[in-house]
Amino acid sequence: METLSENTAFGGVQGVYKHRSAACACDMTFGLFLPEEAQDGPVPLLWYLSGLTCTHENAMTKAAAQGWAAEQGIALVFPDTSPRGEGVADDAAYDLGQGAGFYVNATQAPWAPHFRMWDYVAEELPALLTETFAIDPTRQSITGHSMGGHGALTLAMNLPGRYRSVSAFAPIANPTGSDWGRKQLAAYLGDDESTWAAHDASLLMRDKGFNGPVLIDQGASDQFLDLLKPEALAAAIASRRQPATFRMQKGYDHSYFFVSSFMEDHVTFHASALWA
């Protein structure tokens, strides 16, 4: 693993690291904030999964998360959103290919050799973090924005017991029923829609739910509401009688101004579960 940078922040260290990924068959980069408490032993970990077109850097620099994480004594990891580099398949559209991994394991050409973001986030990167840094693998929670909110919710519901809490900012909530989802799931997983259900938060909520605290924030003035379909997730939460907090935030759009405005709430929400 290569250290690309390390900066002191809020008494801890914000690092950026690169390593060779077996899951994605390429070099992958991630950001990791370790609070001061990590000097004395393993600390809880909050995952932040980013959205379309983002890298590890967007949330790391725009979400205003590190100060709140330092206050709570928890680590933050910011994975990239897809494999990258020469020989990695891409597409001219911003919502497919590099920067748009959708947190699935692709089975279709030309994506299958590299686009295994599910295995990367669920298995490979957690193992690397706990082997290399002062991270407590028994205390993990997950959040994300947009495509990353989709990833956070689907990982949390498909991996029971892994995460103590889950939250999302403006998640792609019903990709099997949206142009932000049908296009990508067909490209990555093929035309058999039965394989898509495991990657749809609304369907998973109806079928499985989540055994822990759930927090969803959605901007009421989000320019992508018709693609995100928050109403499908809200209906699934109600149908299952899932304990959850679902908030429509008046006046907020899809930007990092929205995310940073409510980041304190989300970090505090997860810290309560991580330290319980």
Let me know if 208 is exposed, middle or buried by CB neighbors in 10 A (0-12, 13-18, 19+).
middle
The residues that are catalytic are 146, 222, 254
User: pLDDT at position 238, please?
Assistant: 98
User: pLDDT at position 139, please?
Assistant: 98
pTM score: 0.98
Nearest to 273 by CA among 150, 137, 141, 106: 141
Calpha distance 214→153 (Å, rounded): 9
User: pLDDT at position 188, please?
Assistant: 98
User: pLDDT at position 254, please?
Assistant: 98
Region for residue 265 given its phi and psi (left: phi exceeds 0; alpha: psi -120 to 50; beta: otherwise): alpha
Q: Is the dihedral of CA 29, 43, 272, 264 positive or negative?
A: negative
User: pLDDT at position 7, please?
Assistant: 98
In the predicted model, residues of the chain with pLDDT beneath 50 are none
What DSSP string describes 118-148? HHIIIIIHHHHHHHHSSEEEEEEEEEEBTHH
User: pLDDT at position 107, please?
Assistant: 98
Whole-angstrom CA distances from 15 to 65, 96, 107, 241 are 14, 28, 33, 40
Chain segment 211-265, per-residue pLDDT in tens: 999 999 999 999 999 999 999 999 999 999 999 999 999 999 999 999 999 999 9
**Helix/strand/coil percentages in the chain, nearest 5:** 40, 25, 35
Q: How far is CA 212 from the centre of its chain?
A: 17
Asked if 50 and 31 touch (Cβ cutoff 8 Å), the reply is no
